[in-house]
Amino acid sequence: MSALNGKLTKKLVENLGAGRHGDGAGLYLVVDPSGARRWIVRVTVKGQKNRKGAPLRTDFGLGGADIVTLNQARERALEYRRMAKQGLNPRFNATREIPTFAEVAQQVHIDRMPTWKNAKHGQQWLNTLRDYAFPKIGRMPIDSIGQPEILMCLSPIWTDRHETAKRLAQRIKTVLDVAKSKGFRSGENPVTAIRDAKVLPTVKTKPQHHDAMPWRHVPAFFAELNGRSAIAAKALQFTILTASRTSEVLDMTWQEIDFEARLWTVPAARMKGGKVHRVPLTDEMLAILEPLKAMASVYVFEGQKRHKPLSNMSMLMLLRRMGRDGFTVHGFRSSFRDWASESVNAPRELAEAALAHQVGSDVERAYARSDLLERRFDLMTHWTRFTNSFTFSEAP
């Protein structure tokens, strides 16, 4: 996909892949690997030179492409070029407009992109604002947002979606803090004022436990899964056998699999604990993976879109279709943990290592550098045999 006559179009702006794409006259659309899109303009300031004596050429950000349209970007770029042609540096002479909340939020997301644990986490940060803040305050000038506007965003979800509301409040606070640091706001952050005054009611939240299928019931359920060919069923089988987290399995790529070594290596960036995790692969696990090679996808468990993973709801919806509404995918990790303790009396450190849990104090972990891979292979072999031990002759 390329620009017609060197010019961008609305469709191209929405669909171009990662890279820097020119519209002409110094205007560029920059698409980051995460998919975030922003505008920049490159100008040469007349009569000004850089430290090496060459004409002063500088890039200026014009905002995110989901906030600033193509025509708006062209207009702003034209304004900057006119100033530069007159010898005026746009950094100091451009009209200082008060940006909207959405514009500042988009820029904060772009600026902090290198600090996100992964692109998915960064996108979730912005999605929370898009879903709950942008519809109410997104188009408002950032300096006009006070406590009433913040409450418009938080109050509707404060009780029913309390965890989401708390994350939303923190992210709104961050955007307003950045706006203040750039001179667009003054005074106390209204989010802080709301918290200190306890304007919103106290919500008592119960610890969230993932409902686990009793480990003795897992073989019968696994036998049902064997009769299903859908990719979600294969992903769920692999998740159960490896006792892995949903995200670890769904985002797994073929590059992480070493068939010869019978090993799946999950990079630190994708692990909850931020540490590389090696998973030994049994014959049954490999048998699930082998047929999927023919899909020639980036991801092992590809979804409906080419080179995109399955939806993170796909396995949960499968559980519901199979009449297991009371259980969660994450709960199978607890099923495995209970089985390891009650059925095979596995040492605590071994079972916890299989789940990629950190055990002991910092000092203890400093000395326990082995991930017990060989012993874990034996444990996962026993678990695999157990999950495949059901025969339909056992059914009542």
Distance CA 243, CA 269 (A): 19
Q: What is the pTM of this model?
A: 0.51
Domain assignment of residue 191, yes or no: yes
Q: Are residues 229 and 299 in the same domain?
A: yes
Domain membership of residue 290 (yes or no) is yes
As a whole number of angstroms, the distance between CA 217 and CA 224 comes to 11
- At residue 364, the pLDDT reads 42
Choosing from 39, 73, 95, the residue where a domain stops is: 95
CATH of the domain at 257: 1.10.443.10
Q: Which parts of the chain sit beneath pLDDT 50?
A: 1-2, 360-368, 393-396
What is the three-class DSSP state of 278? Answer: strand
End position of a domain, from candidates 135, 167, 197: 197
Q: How far is residue 223's CA from residue 392's CA, in Å, rounded to a whole number?
A: 8
Range of the domain at 286: 215-394
H or E element, residue 55? strand 55-64
Q: Are residues 86 and 106 in the same domain?
A: no
> Parallel, antiparallel, or unpaired for β 55-64 and 37-49?
antiparallel
Please give the pLDDT value at position 383: 96
Q: Do residues 75 and 115 touch, judged by C-beta distance below 8 A? A: no
Specify whether 179 is located in the same domain as 226.
no
At residue 6, the pLDDT reads 65
Domain boundary (171, 197, 223) is at: 197
Q: What is the pLDDT of residue 67?
A: 72
Q: What is the mean pLDDT of the chain?
A: 85
Q: How is residue 113 annotated by DSSP?
A: G
Residue 110 lies in a domain: yes
Tell me, what's the pLDDT at 3?
A: 54
Return left, alpha or beta for 204; rule: phi > 0 is left, psi -120 to 50 is alpha, else beta. Answer: beta
Q: Is residue 75 part of a domain?
A: yes
For residues 224 and 338, state if they share a domain.
Answer: yes
Count of domains observed in the chain? 3
- 217-231 tens-digit pLDDT: 999 999 999 889 899
pLDDT reported for residue 118: 65
Structure confidence at residue 225 (pLDDT): 93
How many Cα atoms are found within 13 Å in the side-chain-facing hemisphere of 268? Answer: 3
